[in-house]
Structure 1
Amino acid sequence: MSGRSHMPANGSSLHDPARQSPSFWETAFSGTDPDALSEILSTPNSPIKAAAQAAAPIAYRCNFISTEELAIADCAYDGTISIRREAPNGKLIIFLPMEGNAVFDAGKEPIHSVPGRGAIIGAGRASGSRLIGPRRHLGLFVDQAKINRQLTHMFERTISGDADFHPTIDLTTGSGLVLQQLVANLYYGLSGDGPLQQSPLARSALCDAMIYLLLETCPHRYSEALALPAPAPAPRHVKWAIEFMQEYIAEPISLNDIATAAKVSVRTLQQGFRQFRDTTPMAYLHELRMLAAHRDLLESGTRQAVADIALRWGFTHLGRFSAEYRKRFGQLPSQALKR
C-alpha cells in the first residue's frame, strides 16, 4: 500500500489526541512540513530533526498507539526525508517495514531496512536515518527499563544497561515473521474500535509475548546466558538477606547486619551472592536503592528536590549519585524529575 494514497494535501492533524483511556492513548498526525514532523517525532529528552532532501516536497502520516508497557506507530512517508535523533531516548526501537527503503546510521555499519528485513535500534544510541518514499513501516518502542526488568526476572539478578541487540531481523520466516504478526495484531486490535481495547489481560499478554520473543530468539548481549540451563534456586540465606535489604532499604545497614539477618557468616553470604546473583551483597543493596530513587524521581514530579530523594535512599554525594544515575538510566536525575 502506498503511503501517498493516505496523505492529506495540507499539514492538518487527523486527531490529536484521537482517543485516550487510562491504559492506552492514540494520536495521529499528517502533513507536509518537515519542522512539524520534527516536533511530532521528538520527545523532551530526545529531540529529532527532520528535513526534506534538496527541499523537495514530502508528506507523512503517523499514527501512534501507546500502552502502559510499550508504543506502536504506523507511519507512511512520501519523498526522501533525513531524520537525525540528537540524543538517545532510552527506548529499544524496532522498525518493521511494509513498503519502501530506509537506511539507519546507528552503529559501525549502515542498517538497511526494506520489506522482509527489520531494523533494531538500541536504546543507548543516537541515530540518523534516511527514509526513501513511498515508505511505510510499523515501529515498536519498548523502554529499555522494561527489557531489563524482564531480564532481571529471567536471571533472578539485576540487569542494567543496553542489551545490544543485533541490528537486523529477518521478517520473512521464524521468530521475525511471528514478531511482525504480533505487533500488527496489537496495533490493529487497539486502533479504531479494536477488540483489545476491552481486554486488558489479552493486551498485556501480547506485550509480554513480544518482549519474551525478542529476548529468547533475537541475538543480544545476554543470549548465550539465556541459552544455559537455569541455575539452581538461591539458598535460603540469600533470600533472607534480600528480604532484610528490602525491609530496611532506607536504613544505614552494614554487611555484618545483612549476614546476621541471613544467619550466616559474611564470607558465606558473599559466596552465595556471587554464585546465585552474580554480584556482591552491598552492590545488590546499592542497586535496590538506586531503583527506589529512580521510582521516586519519576513519581514525584517537581514536588521534591533531587537532593532530598538522593539522601532518602542513602546517597550522600549528589555529584556521584547523578553520575551513577545517568550511567544506569541514560539521563540525569533532574531530567527524570521533570518527566
Structure 2
Amino acid sequence: MKNIERIMTPVFDGSRDPTEACTRVGDVYQPHKLDLCQSSEQLEARMKHVDIKSTSLSRLEYKARIHIESEPFKNFYLVMLPTSGQFQVSQDNIEGLSTTQSPVILDTNKKIDMRWSRECSNLIYKINRPLLESVLMDTYYIDAHGPIEFNTQQQGMSELKNFSAMLKNILIDNPLLDDMAKNKELFEKIEQVLALSLLSCPNSYSERILNGKYHIQPRSVVKAKEFMEEHYAEKLSVIDIAKQVGVSARSLQKGFQQFEHTSPMLYLRKLRLRRARELIMFSHSQGADIKISDIAMRCGFYHFGHFSKLYVNAFGETPSSTISASPSRQNIVKK
C-alpha cells in the first residue's frame, strides 16, 4: 500500500465538512450526494489520488458512517477495493455487500446507492469507458455499440478477485513503482493489461468473447477500408494505414485476417487492381488518349511489368486484352 501512496497526491486531509468532502470527491469523479447516517457523528475524511492516463487510483475514507447517492456514471467505471471495513451498495435495486474479501464494480448507466461503515477505507480504481471499449475491439474485434455492463449480481466473483490481485501486484504493491512512474509507455501497457483482465468478469459481451460471435466488423477494419478507398493511389504501408485508424499494425493485421481473410496490403492491392481495370475500361469508353502505364501509376503501381503480371493473375487477361474486348480502342495507348 505504501508503494502506491508515494506517487499519490493528497486531495484533502482530515476534512470535517461533509459539503467540502463531497465537492472535492465529486471533482475527481462526478457530483453526487453525501450525508452522515447519524448527525451526531464527526466526519474526518481523507483522500489521496493519482491520475495515470485513462485510469486513476484513489484512497478514500470518511471515518464516519455515510450515505452516498449518485446518478449513473457516463464515461467510466469504478472498481472498489475495501482495505478495511465494509459498505453496502445498490445498483438498480440489486444489493450487495463489499468487504476486504469481496471487491465490487460500480457499473456505468446505473444509479448508485452506498452506505459506508465508520471504519471503511477504499482503494478506488477508475477506468475510462473508451479504454475498456478499445481493448474490447483490439483484442476480441468486438465493436461496442452500447456500454459494457457488468453482472452486478455476481460481485465478489473469482474473476474480479483475480483482477484485484493483479492490480495490487503490478500497481499498488509494486516495489518498483517509483521507477515505473517515470515511464508513461509502461503505464499505458499496464492500463491495457488491467482492462483486459477486467473484461474477464461477466459482462454484457462475455458470450461473444467466449464463443467468438463477432458478427460486426470492428471500427478499425471499416475505417481502414474507407481510408484505402480514398488514398489507394498513394504509397502506403500497413503502418501508415494503422496510424490513420488509431490501432497498431499488428491489431490491424489480425482484424483483416479475421474479417476479410487477407492482409491489409493484399486487400489494398486488389482494390488498386479493380480501380485500374475500371479506369482502363472507362477511359477507353470515353475515347480518352491515355497510356495504360499512366493508369497503373495513378492506381499505385510504379512498375509496369509487375502491374501487368498482377493484372493477369487477378483477371485472367492482360490490360491490352481488356481494351481489345471493348468495341472502341483507338485512343488507348498500350504502353
Pair 1:128-2:144 in alignment:
no
Q: 1:206 to 1:243 in 2, by over 3 A?
A: closer
Residue number in structure 2 paired with 1:33: 17
Q: 1:88 to 1:176 in 2, by over 3 A?
A: closer
Pair 1:245-2:230 in alignment:
no
Residue number in structure 2 paired with 1:112: 97
Offset, 1:248: 7.5
Offset, 1:36: 0.8
Percentage of identical aligned residues: 15
Larger gyration radius, structure 1 or structure 2? 2
Offset, 1:206: 2.1
Give deviations 1:137-166, integer Å, cap 9, x for gaps. Answer: 211111112111111223324213221112
Q: 1:87 to 1:170 in 2, by over 3 A?
A: closer
Secondary structure at 2:195 match in 1: helix
**2:150 corresponds to which of 162, 165, 181:** 165
User: What's the RMSD between the two structures over aligned residues?
Assistant: 3.6
Q: How many residues align?
A: 225
Offset, 1:180: 1.9
Pair 1:226-2:212 in alignment:
no
Give deviations 1:235-263, integer Å, cap 9, x for gaps. Answer: xxx95x643424679xxxxxxxxxxxxxx
Residue number in structure 2 paired with 1:140: 125
Secondary structure at 1:46 match in 2: coil
Q: Which amino acid aligns with 1:123?
A: T
Q: Which amino acid aligns with 1:176?
A: L
- Matched residues in 2 for 1:213 and 1:45: separation? 22
Secondary structure at 2:192 match in 1: helix
Residue number in structure 1 paired with 2:191: 207
Extract structure 1 runs of 4+ deviating beyond 4 A: 188-191, 229-232
After TM superposition, the structure 1 = structure 2 runs for residues 30-179 of structure 1, keeping only pairs within 5 Å, are: 30=13, 31-43=15-27, 46-55=30-39, 56-167=41-152, 168-170=154-156, 175-179=159-163
Secondary structure at 2:167 match in 1: helix
TM-score, length-normalised on structure 1? Answer: 0.57
Q: 1:182 to 1:29 in 2, by over 3 A?
A: farther
| Contiguous gaps of at least 5 residues in structure 1 | 2-17, 20-24, 250-272, 278-339
- Matched residues in 1 for 2:227 and 2:12: separation? 45
- Matched residues in 2 for 1:127 and 1:178: separation? 24
1:45–1:89: 8 Å Cα contact kept in structure 2?
Answer: no
Offset, 1:227: 0.9
Secondary structure at 2:144 match in 1: coil
Q: Which amino acid aligns with 1:198?
A: K
Q: Which amino acid aligns with 2:202?
A: P
- Matched residues in 1 for 2:179 and 2:174: separation? 6
- Matched residues in 1 for 2:147 and 2:214: separation? 23
Q: Which amino acid aligns with 2:34?
A: A
Residue number in structure 2 paired with 1:316: none
1:93–1:140: 8 Å Cα contact kept in structure 2?
Answer: yes
Residue number in structure 2 paired with 1:15: none
| Contiguous gaps of at least 5 residues in structure 2 | 231-255, 261-335
Give deviations 1:263-311, integer Å, cap 9, x for gaps. Answer: xxxxxxxxxx9x949xxxxxxxxxxxxxxxxxxxxxxxxxxxxxxxxxx
- Matched residues in 2 for 1:128 and 1:42: separation? 15
- Matched residues in 2 for 1:175 and 1:86: separation? 26
Offset, 1:108: 2.7
1:35–1:49: 8 Å Cα contact kept in structure 2?
Answer: no
Higher strand share: 1
1:48–1:84: 8 Å Cα contact kept in structure 2?
Answer: yes
2:104–2:156: 8 Å Cα contact kept in structure 1?
Answer: no
